[in-house]
Structure 1
Amino acid sequence: MSEAIYDEPSKEIPILVTADVVVCGGGPAGVAAAIASARGGARTVLLENQGCLGGIWTSGLLSWIIDAGNKKGIMQEIMSRLDRRKARIPSVWEDFTYDAEEMKLLLEEMCVEAGVTVMLHTRVVHAAVEGARRLSLAITESKSGRQAWAASIFIDATGDGDLAARAGCRFDLGRPLSEETQPMSLMALVAGLDPEKVAEYTMNGVSESPRERLLERMEKAGHRPSYASPSLFHIRDQLFALMANHEYGASALHASQVTKATMHARKELHRLIDGLRSLGDAWANIRIVNTASHIGVREGRRIHGRYTVNERDLLAGATHEDAICRVRYGIDIHSTNPEQGNGFGDDGKKSLPYDIPFRALIAADVDGLLMAGRCISGDFIAHSSYRVTGNAVAMGQAAGAAAAIAAITNVLPQHLNGADITKALQRLEETN
């Protein structure tokens, strides 16, 4: 049966603003890109679909930041400012937990201080390309209707590569051939726990094998989670974050599948917490305070760029002259097929620290477009490593600094002087 079609009448769309740089997506990569761009002297607009900045950090309640310790500049500034708010708990490793509500406020303050124009509740739905390949407009939908945003340079930090795809860029998705993607996970905040009594179950580093201990408790309560390595993170006081869910086979590109995954995940989380509470003792008062307003998506589009970060780079510990980020996190593939396990692994491959080159942030098919975060150009194996948010911030910082230079000097990103980008990044690193 063919789909019914509605032929929407054409209409004029107001171009709301002309900026130097428009950043689409206000997650860790997008916020860093917008701040870096504005600090570089560019008139910068940041468009975000959710009602807060931070993406997976805030609306996704991730609460755990990985591979941030060697990232200078904006990432270090965020860490320092969280510390001043007493809103961060370092682990015995370099990873750390943070208070998502404090993070929301901090990111807004940093954007306002930098002079970024922020628009929340605004989703990118289309793009306009001039001539053969120059991106000229990002088109959005919001309570204000359909609007267009003009800029000299655009940055796609949507995670799923929405702007790039709508501009006609090619992309890859999931594993080669099968296109199986890593599962989604819905985070939850839980309260009613005594930190000392559950310390051995948390990921903050005070005991060995906390995941295994937590799994044993859940199974004793009669429930085996869909994620075989459930993780509990201490945030502050009696507040914790829980990741215990895998949603397999759901595509981030289809709203119906994201909806089904979200509802299924929320039901599972409540069942798991009810089970833990039934154990009594340390778990007697555990309750869900909040589930994330957006399910955590590990994998969407990987947009084709002028370089593809690949498995060989990871295995060899590649270095690049145009490096903008050194990744130290290993290969981390959450099972793409529950019949082959429901944990995580590395497909039998071991990576070394490696560089992400600036070329991987430059769209191959459209001019005037950069990417930052998990939608940059990379293969399946590489993506499983660089996708974590400490790296996303570093990529955003580099994209924003480069975008400002490109816009102000009227030069396309691929023609920028590498030394100028390096100097701009050094200035950002010195701000902390």
Structure 2
Amino acid sequence: MDTPVPSRRNFLQATAGGLFVSASLTSPDTKASDANPGIRMANPLSGDVLRTEAELSPDAQVLKEQPREIPVAGKSEVLVCGGGPAGVAAALAAARAGATVQLIEVAGCLGGVWTAGLLTKILDAENKSGIMAELLQRFAEHGSAVANQTNGTVYDPEVAKFVLEDVCVQAGVKIRLHTRLVGAVTDSNRRVVAVLTESKSGREAWLADRFIDCSGDGDLAAHAGCRFDLGFGEDCECQPMSMLALLTGIDPDAVRPYIRETAPAAKRLLLDLMEEHGLSPSYRAPTLRHLHSDIFSIMTNHEYGVSAFDANAISESTIRARREVHDLVNGLRRIGGPWKDIAVVATAEQIGVREGRRIRGRYQITANDIATGLKHEQSVCTAKFPIDVHALNAHGNKEIDGAFRKGGHQPYDIPYPALIAKDVDGLLLAGRCISGDFIAHSSYRVTGNAVAMGEAAGRAATVSIQQQVMPQELRWDKIKG
């Protein structure tokens, strides 16, 4: 066989069934073997990749990929999918309890909405102990005067990136960034045994004894075949997405009345200022937050009707939202005065997603639980954040009809069984994808609760391995330590 030329070239060959895609390796010093092509491996050092064999249907609507063997990239006792607030806590708790832990994250940093999403404010965290309290202390110690004054709940995303990586590395967690979950495998007993990922290293398999879905959108659970609920009503309407951004060029003292931490009226004052000068943000409660020096964060937009599972829709909403941020900042600059030098430092890498799948668990948290202040003997934490349903559409840009709040709100417990997938074994949940109804989700979804859930899921996963039982066979009040 001739040595292939290392350039972009035609490798599609016409066949009776459509197109055939060659599976030879692309490196000039490697040639395809006559051996089983499935055992050939991509080489991350030389850049070799394993190309795909496939047939294109005659109508060009379907590409049928040929079976191939997938290399096992790692084996751990606990695998955590998603390195956001819940995922970091789950990985830390599992590792500190004695398990070997693999953490897989799609972004180029840990932290999820805290970092890639530029959230800058942690809600419902002050009453939490354990890992949440530890992280707040670290954010305050490494952060600014503002971080200290707010006990770490207003933080610098770059500080968060460093702190989260540091604590995970110190705990012995294996971290894989830039890697997306694309599948899950269950055995004949409906126990999760492996997940599949895609990255620059190609398609890979990861084995573990226990898995924790901290993906936010419940991706691992869905791939494993779990049932789930989504949004509200027959149309599954979900809360809007929002793009956050970092700003500079503002004197904190000169804009103090507009800073969210100054007073509850700050949002209304900022909206009035914008509207007086012809600006109309799609989020009618624009939020300006001071981080340090002349660096601020801002949230000013809503993207309605976007599915968390539609890459095209998310791409379009990201572009729209980023344009809106720049348009609003340019408009503020034209006002002059303290706003004359305002500029965008960065927009979020990931648009903020409020709502995805709610995986069916072994307990479902309901609006009634919030109204009655649920007290549960297997409580992993108490949630105090109120019902917070952002508008489902642009009609008035107001929160959803107040009828949904008629039951009221009291502090309530998040039960351990709500963190255990109902339809498969060996899978725990943490973060906004746990089991709950639409109203309850709008309260427990905030990240202070996500960390506490992750910590519980990580510890439970490790203890279940140590005791050689499935997570649902444990009682949280017996293992919480």
What SS does structure 2 have at the residue aligned with 1:97? coil
* 1:19-418 matched pairs, under 5 angstroms: 19-87=76-144, 89=146, 96-204=153-261, 206-343=262-399, 347-349=404-406, 350-418=408-476
Q: What is the CA-CA distance between 1:223 and the residue it aligns to?
A: 1.3
Displacement of 1:89 after TM fit? 2.6
Name the amino acid aligned to 1:357: P
In structure 1, C-alpha distance between the alignment counterparts of 2:92 and 2:393, rounded to whole Å: 39
Displacement over 6 Å in runs of 4+:
91-95
State the secondary structure of the residue aligned to 1:89.
Answer: helix
Go from structure 1 to structure 2 and tell me whether the alpha carbon gap of 1:379 and 1:92 turns closer, same or farther (over 3 Å shift). Answer: farther
Equivalent in the alignment of 2:32 = none
Identical positions, percent: 50
Partner amino acid for 2:238? Answer: T
Deviation string, structure 1 residues 65-90 (Cα, Å, up to 9, x no partner): 10000110111101111121134735
Equivalence for 2:20: none
Matched letter for residue 343 of structure 2: R
Unaligned runs of 5+ in 1: 424-432
- Which range is displaced more, 346-355 or 45-54? 346-355
Rg (Cα) greater in structure: 2
| Distance (Å, rounded) in 2 between the aligned partners of 1:277 and 1:345 | 35
Contact 2:282 / 2:397 at 8 angstroms: preserved in 1?
no
Q: Is residue 82–residue 88 contact of structure 1 (8 Å, CA) maintained in 2? A: no
SS in 1 for 2:352: coil
SS of residue matched to 2:341:
coil
Instruction: State the TM-score, normalizing by the size of structure 2.
Output: 0.85
User: Would you say the 8 A contact 2:380–2:476 is kept in 1?
Assistant: no
For residue 207 of structure 2, give the secondary structure of its aligned residue in structure 1: strand
Report deviation, 1:342: 4.0
Is the 8 Å Cα contact of residues 192 and 239 (structure 1) preserved in structure 2?
Answer: yes
C-alpha displacement of 1:422:
1.8
Tell me the distance in 2 between the aligned counterparts of 1:82 and 1:183.
Answer: 28
CA distance in 2, matches of 1:59, 1:125: 20
The match for 1:426 is none
Q: Which runs of 5+ in 2 are unaligned?
A: 1-58
CA distance in 2, matches of 1:134, 1:157: 18
Q: What TM-score do the two structures reach when normalised by structure 1?
A: 0.95
Paired position in structure 2 for 1:8: 65
Residue deviations 1:200-248, cap 9 Å, x none? Answer: 10111x2340001111121123111000000001111100000000000
Aligned residue pairs: how many?
A: 421
Alpha carbons of 1:54 and 1:368: their partners in 2 closer, same or farther (altered >3 Å)?
same
Distance 1:137 1:384 in 2: 31
Distance in 2 (CA, whole Å) between partners of 1:65 and 1:288 is: 22
Distance 1:183 1:268 in 2: 15
> In the alignment, is the contact (CA less than 8 A) between 2:140 and 2:151 conserved in 1?
no
Q: Once the 2 structures are TM-superposed, how far is the Cα of residue 339 of structure 1 from its aligned partner? A: 1.6
CA shift in 2, pair 1:25/1:239, >3 Å: same
